[in-house]
Amino acid sequence: MTRRVAILISGSGSNMVALARSMTGDHPARAVLVASNDPTAGGLAKASAMGIPTAAVDHRAFHGDRAAFEAALVEHIEAAAPDIVCLAGFMRILTPAFIARFKGRMLNIHPSLLPKYPGLHTHQRALDAGDKEAGCTVHEVTADLDAGPILGQARVPVLPGDTAETLAARVLEQEHRLYPAVLRRFAAGDRSPVLLP
């Protein structure tokens, strides 16, 4: 049975594009919705061009009422009846109620080797710490920010002269490999971690 995947974005959606492109052929899942908290998110046009239904709920219209924003967003998500929700560059903190609704079937990609550097500015923090490697993690979303069960990781070297921007670009390349690999395994019911060299 084909698993239905909703992808939530806030920006360019490069991870969404990688995920959507991967769901073809004998892949056990298909993208059924791309939704954003920002109606101007570049990823929405990319999703439409790929023939994927889209939705946008501007979180700014809710003036900080997180629950009201999520209620509007959930309406669009539930209308698509997803089996799996993928956060892909989605930059809003979700309430425990939202997370509970998709417990065990909501994934996120984070640009660090969790549990190192949850939160923001991960690449600069790795550079400041003098780390010799960095990377990205796909994890199940739980109420603890960036702390759910790890479903996959990919590592990259930190090179002399790296800036947060050059490191981010190197990590992003691996995100586009890791997330599709994790989703394919997860959609097939396998939660064993994908560890990319």
Q: What angle do CA 96, 98, 100 make, to 5 degrees?
A: 65
Active site residues: 110
Residue 13 touches ligand GRF, criterion: CB under 6 A: yes
Residue 83 Cβ, how far from ligand GRF at the closest point, in Å? 21
Contacts of 186 (CB under 8 A, 6+ apart): 84, 107, 151
Task: Considering only the stretches 9-17, 45-53, 66-74, 76-84, report the one whose residues sit in contact with ligand GRF under the rule CB under 6 A.
Answer: 9-17
Give the one residue of 111, 148, 152, 180 binding ligand GRF; rule: CB under 6 A. Answer: 111
Residue 172 touches ligand GRF, criterion: CB under 6 A: yes
Judged by CB under 6 A, the chain residues 89 through 108 that form the site for ligand GRF are: 89
Helices (H) and strands (E) in the chain, counts: 6, 8
Residue with Cβ nearer ligand GRF (140 or 175): 175
Give the one residue of 12, 124, 142, 166 binding ligand GRF; rule: CB under 6 A. Answer: 12
Residue 14 touches ligand GRF, criterion: CB under 6 A: yes
Residue 148 touches ligand GRF, criterion: CB under 6 A: no
User: Residue 186, exposed/middle/buried by CB under 10 A (0-12, 13-18, 19+)?
Assistant: buried
* Alpha-carbon span 29 to 164, nearest angstrom: 34
Q: Which two tokens mark 52?
A: 């994927």
Q: What DSSP character marks residue 93?
A: P
- Do 34 and 53 contact (CB within 8 A), yes or no? yes
Residue 15 Cβ, how far from ligand GRF at the closest point, in Å? 3
Residue numbers of the site for ligand GRF (CB under 6 A)?
9, 11-16, 88-89, 109, 111, 136, 172, 175
